[in-house]
Every structure is written in structure tokens, then in C-alpha cells.
Amino acid sequence: MHLRLGLAMALGALGRDGDALAQAARGLRQAEETGSTKYVGWFHLVQGELALGAGQPAAALTELGRGAIRSRMLPTRAQDVARRIGFPTLTWQSAHRLAEAQAAGGCLTDAASAAILAAETIERMAAEAPDARCRETLLAWPRVQAALRDHGAAAPPA
């Protein structure tokens, strides 16, 4: 599963979305069959990122986290798994991408909440880093910087 996840992510980074989606779908099935909750969450994250990149915010919302339906929040997929198992790396990454999907779908208040969750999770991880070098490495990661930047730009509508 770990190899399939890396392959799906690499194919997505190369713009081979169809191949990435196929690997993610196979990996998700395997993770579900073996009860590997962590990988279920990761594969939902990959599928959500691919949907977001394809301009499909509704599909991304389904995969990534919480979609606002009839003004209440319903837990789904990657974000639900991340919170249930207490896995901060998956939590902040899925929350960050969820915020992007919600913003693309016009759910700005929900997007701000997801961006806050991503930033707070990153800040907690940085505070709990075993040493300054680990903390600096985390905070220098471009994905972390993007999540923190997006959190700063996210503001709920007045």
C-alpha cells in the first residue's frame, strides 16, 4: 500500500491524473480490505487532490472531508479518518485541501474553518517537534508554507 500511495502521488505530480487515480482506487480497495485506516485516509486525500485539480470541487469535498449539506456538517472520507485516528500529518494536509475545495465550491465559512484546522494542526506539530531543526524543517516545507499562507488569507465572509 505504501508503494501504491507513493506511485499515485508521483503520477499525480507528473500530471498523469488518470494513472494516479487508478493507483489510488486500487490502493483504497486494498486499504479497506486489510483494515488499514491510515491508508484509507491517505488514498481519499489523493483522490480529493486529483478531483480538486480537475476542477471538481464537489467530488473533492466528498473525498477530502466535510461537505456542508443542508447547513450541517457531515463527516466524510480523508478528514474523518485523520481525526478518528489522530494522525496530524493527514489531518493538516486533508484540512488544507478541504479548505481549497470548499472555497472553490463557494463555502467560504467552511473553508475558513478547515484552513484554521490545518494551521492549528501544523502549529501544534511544530510546537511538539523534538528539536529546533525538526521544527524548522517542517515549517520550511512548501506544502506547510502554502497551508499557513492560505490560512492567513482565509477569512469568513462578514
The domain tally of the chain equals 1
* Residue 158 maps to a domain: no
pLDDT at 73 (0 to 100):
38
Residue 117 lies in a domain: yes
Taking only the tens place, the pLDDT of each residue in 59-99 is: 998 888 633 222 233 344 676 777 777 789 988 998 899 89
Instruction: Please give the pLDDT value at position 82.
Output: 74
49 contact partners, CB below 8 Å, separation of at least 6: 12, 60, 64, 97
pLDDT tens readout for residues 101-157: 999 989 899 889 889 989 999 999 999 999 999 999 999 999 999 999 988 765 444
The answer to whether position 69 is within a domain reads yes
Q: Tell whether 68 is covered by a domain.
A: yes
Identify whether 71 is part of a domain: yes
Mean pLDDT value across the chain = 86
CATH number at residue 78: 1.25.40.10
pLDDT at 156: 47
Q: What is the pLDDT of residue 153?
A: 64
Q: Which domain holds residue 97?
A: 2-153
| Global model pTM greater than 0.95 | no
Considering 3-12, 30-39, 63-72, 86-95, the range whose residues carry the highest mean pLDDT is 3-12
Q: How far apart are CA 145 and CA 137, in angstroms?
A: 11
Most confident range (mean pLDDT) of 13-17, 41-45, 53-57, 72-76 is 13-17
